[in-house]
């Protein structure tokens, strides 16, 4: 069964189809999904989905886009939410200089604070990094956090290997199928299969040939096929290896079968 490590099924684009879609996932080969928070409301919504569906789990955190008005009270709330039995990670957290570079100081501060929280509650992290590769890497290195995934990885092979050496995994989704994804293809080719995690970022980043549509976990079949093509291995090996990797990262003692 496929382990989907990053989706946002609380997103309003799933309104009206959410229950039917999520209920169908096990029959489509999706064995487990982590729904990832981006602010306090979506973190709560992720837990609500996890409580409703036995194969859905949650991550709680505040995305860099939402750190401008973040306070220490938000850290307290995340700490409380992280105690839920189906919360497997702190995320998604990180840096994004594409849209919000004017709030760089706030992003840097609250990224560090959420990494501290992850250390405190002993959970892995789900990292967002856009146009902030060096700052993201340096802050993680300095934090001492050594457990997590670099979501929607967009860097080169050398940095991917450096993350792996620190104990991190590389999140690979629909972008690997894009025609202009030469850098990510090289990363997938050169890092070990057991350092890769499957993700969609649903409803975003739909793979070819459904690019531009509302993404969902069923589209991981295209990502799996592309990884298999790059590494010249079968889809079953991709599915099995990435599942075991995800289980090893996200605390299995918390996972209810």
Confidence of residue 256 (pLDDT cuts 50, 70, 90): very low
- Quickly count: other Cβ atoms within 10 Å of residue 195's Cβ: 19
Confidence of residue 254 (pLDDT cuts 50, 70, 90): low
| pLDDT tens track for 49-90 | 999 999 999 999 999 999 999 999 999 999 999 999 999 999
Q: Is position 256 within any domain?
A: no
Strand order in the sheet with 56-60: 2-7, 30-36, 56-60, 87-96, 125-130, 148-150, 168-172, 196-198
CATH number at residue 210: 3.20.20.140
Name, in order, each residue with C-beta under 8 angstroms of 136's C-beta and a sequence gap of 6 or more.
Answer: 94, 95, 111, 127, 129
pLDDT of residue 252: 52
Say how far apart CA 16 and CA 28 lie, in whole Å: 20
pLDDT of residue 102: 75
CA 114 to chain CA centroid, nearest Å: 15
Q: Is position 254 within any domain?
A: no
Q: Is position 140 within any domain?
A: yes
Q: Is position 257 within any domain?
A: no
pLDDT of residue 99: 81
Q: How many domains in the chain?
A: 1
Segment 91-107 shows an average pLDDT of 90
| pLDDT tens track for 166-185 | 999 999 999 999 999 999 99
Containing structural domain, residue 194: 2-249
Segment 204-228 shows an average pLDDT of 98
- Mean pLDDT, the chain, whole residue set: 96
Q: Is the pLDDT of residue 14 over 50?
A: yes
Percentage of residues in the chain having pLDDT higher than 70:
96
Q: Is position 56 within any domain?
A: yes
Q: Is the pLDDT of residue 149 over 80?
A: yes
Q: Taking the complete model, does pTM exceed 0.85, yes or no?
A: yes
Segment 202-220 shows an average pLDDT of 98
Helix runs in the chain, H state only: 18-24, 40-52, 72-82, 104-121, 133-143, 157-165, 182-190, 220-231, 235-249
Q: Is position 195 within any domain?
A: yes
Residue with tokens 């690997």: 176
């Amino acid at each position: 069964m496929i382990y989907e490590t990053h989706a946002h099924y609380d997103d309003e684009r799933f309104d009206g189809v959410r229950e039917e879609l999520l209920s169908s996932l096990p029959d489509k080969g999706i064995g487990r999904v982590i729904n990832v928070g981006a602010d306090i409301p979506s973190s709560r919504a992720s837990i609500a989905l996890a409580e409703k569906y036995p194969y859905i789990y949650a991550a709680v955190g505040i995305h860099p886009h939402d750190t401008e008005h973040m306070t220490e009270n938000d850290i307290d709330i995340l700490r409380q939410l992280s105690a839920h039995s189906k919360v497997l990670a702190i995320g998604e957290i990180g840096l994004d200089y594409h849209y919000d570079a004017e709030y760089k100081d706030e992003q840097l501060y609250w990224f560090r604070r959420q990494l501290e929280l992850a250390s405190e509650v002993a959970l892995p992290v789900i990292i967002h990094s856009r146009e902030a590769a060096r700052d993201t890497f340096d802050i993680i290195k300095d934090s001492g956090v050594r457990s997590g995934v670099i979501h929607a990885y967009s860097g080169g092979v050398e940095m991917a290997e450096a993350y792996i050496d620190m104990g991190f995994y590389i999140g690979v989704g629909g972008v690997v199928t894009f025609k202009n994804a030469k850098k990510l293809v090289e990363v997938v080719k050169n890092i070990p299969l057991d350092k890769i995690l499957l993700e969609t970022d649903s409803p975003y980043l739909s793979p070819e040939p459904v690019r531009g549509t509302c993404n969902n976990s069923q589209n991981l079949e295209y990502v799996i096929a592309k990884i298999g093509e790059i590494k010249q291995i079968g889809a079953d090996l991709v599915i099995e290896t990435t599942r075991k990797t995800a289980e090893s990262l996200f605390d299995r003692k918390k996972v209810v079968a």
